[in-house]
Structure 1
Amino acid sequence: MRTCLRAIPALLIAFVFSGQLHAATVDTVKTFSAAMNKEIKAVVITPDSYKKKESKDIRYPVVYLLHGAGGHQDDWIKKVPELKEMADRYNLLIVCPDGNVTSWYFDSPVDPAWKYETYVAAELVKWTDEHYRTIADRKGRAITGLSMGGHGGMYLSFRHQDVYGAGGSMSGGVDFRPFPKNWDIAKRLGAYADVPERWDENTAVNLIGLLKPGSLSLIIDCGTDDFFFKVNNEFHAKLLENKIQHDYIVRPGGHTWEYWRNAVDYQLLFMSHYFKSKN
């Protein structure tokens, strides 16, 4: 009996050590934006299989995962460490860029040094393809995010259908016009009362006309208690009106990490199915 009791801790140590050997890798990298002339950090999660010798010739799909207002590149991995397990489960790379605290992922017509659309949709994608074994094609790329990043997922996938094959949004601010004084958007576009046309041109709901049926695989998720729930319902209705196929998930929940921790697994599963259907 004593022998068995002594063996148990050793087995536990071996199990933990084994888990550490077989897990996704999380790296914080420095990228460069020529458009903004500055270094920008990103978190890159690679699945366990990526570093194995037998997969050295395999190329991997990438999901670009965007943070919300007030966040940074490490928000997702700090709040949802299970992303490492998801990268392994779905066998894909996850790239989380620093989109600044209130970029909304567009190029500002007011500030020429504010070019987060160019950075995320062009410069970061190019950098990732050059530094990792990726499927360097829209069939191997998807983009999604939460809140401000949900707007970015829709805005960037709609405007760059040659870059991404799938787009997602979690609790996304897919129409920010009802919130003209929030999140420093007026600093990037000008005041809504003065230049409403800029707001119209840069809010995701008004870009649905860029889509053709089947042009993108889309998944949208929002909780019923979220302050963005109304604009997401309207976004969903407009997609239906334009005959754009999409998954729309509605569950009880608010604008919280508890909600997004659950939502991101659905999003990555959806993206994984898309990649498998195309590659």
Structure 2
Amino acid sequence: MAVIYGNIQSERLMRKVPFAAILPSEFENDEKVEPFKTLYLLHGWNDAFDAWINNTRIVELATKYNIAVIMPSGENSFYVDLENGSYYGQYIGEELVRITRGMFNLSHEFESTWIAGLSMGGYGALRNGLYYNETFSKIGALSSKILQSQERDHDLTEENRMNQAIQFIIGAETYQDMERDKDIFSLAKKNSIPELFIACGTEDFIYRESLNLHNYLNELKIDHIYKESPGDHSWSFWDHYIEQVIEWMVSD
């Protein structure tokens, strides 16, 4: 197992961006092994591409389940295409997959390509997994911030930096007017969507957003895994559940 840190020259972001990769050995008994099942794993708000390595057992888990894990930098973009020309959605859903498959011994198979994340990265996993539903077969969303047009509990009209950031991300002043390709509820209505694993702690300040998504998916009669347990917005919760997500991903 190797842990690699590097930079990708991204056309979609128009600059070099850092990433980390956890890679099993490509050879066993001097013979090249089959391409690796791959998890694209996204960090949260105000964090960095190496956050999962620094705060969880992800290297140990990648070794245990013999998968590759690619961890890109998303800055504070929510992993969507932005009005300033930074196309984070296209970077995650298209460019990053293409480039890393060319760099490493990664599977090109739909069934072996997955995406997951926490908080902002949980939204990024949902948005890009649902939008690029022919690339990712499974989505893991932990303690996710859910941006969706039916939001009623959070008023964006109050002036503060977070509301301004969300307005920039969704391309509108209100959730009701947000761009539909960033609306998780709208994207969930696609005819074919990836399998879903959603989890959140009951003490998490955005717990109700995951619960609302779970209830909405039930209304649409979309099969999915939903789990909640005592816990807050913390690495101890994510470290516990990321193993469950990976175990579920490799189970087929």
Query: What's the TM-score, normalizing by structure 1?
Result: 0.81
Aligned letter for 1:35? R
Residue matched to 1:117: 89
Segments of 5+ residues of structure 1 without an aligned counterpart are 1-23
Q: CA, structure 1 residues 157+25, in 2 after alignment: closer, same or farther (shift >3 Å)?
A: same
Indicate the residue corresponding to 1:192 in structure 2: 173
| Cα distance in 1 between the residues matched to 2:169 and 2:66 | 37
**Aligned-partner residue type, residue 28 of structure 1:** Y
| Cα separation, 2, equivalents of 1:107 and 1:53 | 44
Q: Structure 1 residues 179, 169: CA separation in 2 closer, same or farther (over 3 Å shift)?
A: farther
User: 1:103 — aligned with what?
Assistant: 77
CA distance in 1, matches of 2:155, 2:124: 16
Partner of 2:183: 203
Matched, 1:50 2:26: yes
DSSP 3-state at the match of 2:135: coil
Superposed CA deviations along residues 214-239 of structure 1, whole A, max 9, x for unmatched, are x4221001000111111111100111
1:215-226 aligned within 5 A: 215-226=193-204
Looking at structure 2, the residues matched to 259 and 199 of structure 1 have their Cα atoms a distance apart, in angstroms, of: 31
Which of 43, 46, 60 pairs up with 1:85?
Answer: 60
Give the corresponding residue for 1:127.
99
Name the structure 2 match of 1:37.
14
Deviation string, structure 1 residues 80-124 (Cα, Å, up to 9, x no partner): 1x2111111111000100011x1001101x212x21001111110
> Partners in 2 of 1:71 and 1:146 — Cα distance?
11
- For 1:258-277, list aligned pairs within 5 A: 258-273=236-251, 277=252
SS class of match (1:210)? coil
The amino acid that maps onto 2:52 is W
Q: Distance in 1 between matches of 2:183 and 2:210?
A: 12
SS in 1 for 2:133: coil
Cα distance change, pair 251–38 in 1 and its aligned pair in 2 (3 A): same
Partner of 1:161: 133
Bigger radius of gyration among the two: 1
In structure 2, how many angstroms separate the alpha carbons of the residues matched to 1:201 and 1:132? 30
Q: What SS does structure 1 have at the residue aligned with 2:222? A: coil
**Alpha-carbon distance in structure 1 between the residues aligned to 2:14 and 2:109:** 26
State whether residues 138 and 161 of structure 1, in contact with CA within 8 Å, keep that contact through their aligned partners in structure 2. Answer: no
Q: Residue 51 of structure 1: CA displacement?
A: 4.6
Decide whether the 8 Å contact of 1:66 with 1:144 is kept in 2: yes
1: CA distance between counterparts of 2:7 and 2:187? 31
Q: State yes or no: 1:250 paired with 2:225.
A: no
1:200–1:59: structure 2 CA closer, same or farther, 3 Å change rule?
A: closer
How far is the alpha carbon of 1:199 from its aligned partner?
Answer: 5.1
Whole-angstrom distance in 2 between the partners of 1:32 and 1:206: 32
Structure 1 residue 192 displacement after superposition = 2.2
Q: Which has the higher helix share?
A: 1
TM-score (norm 2): 0.90
The aligned residue for residue 51 of structure 2 is 75
Aligned counterparts of 2:195 and 2:177: Cα–Cα separation in 1: 28
Give the deviation of 1:62 after TM superposition.
0.4
> Taking every aligned residue pair, what percent have the same amino acid on both sides?
26
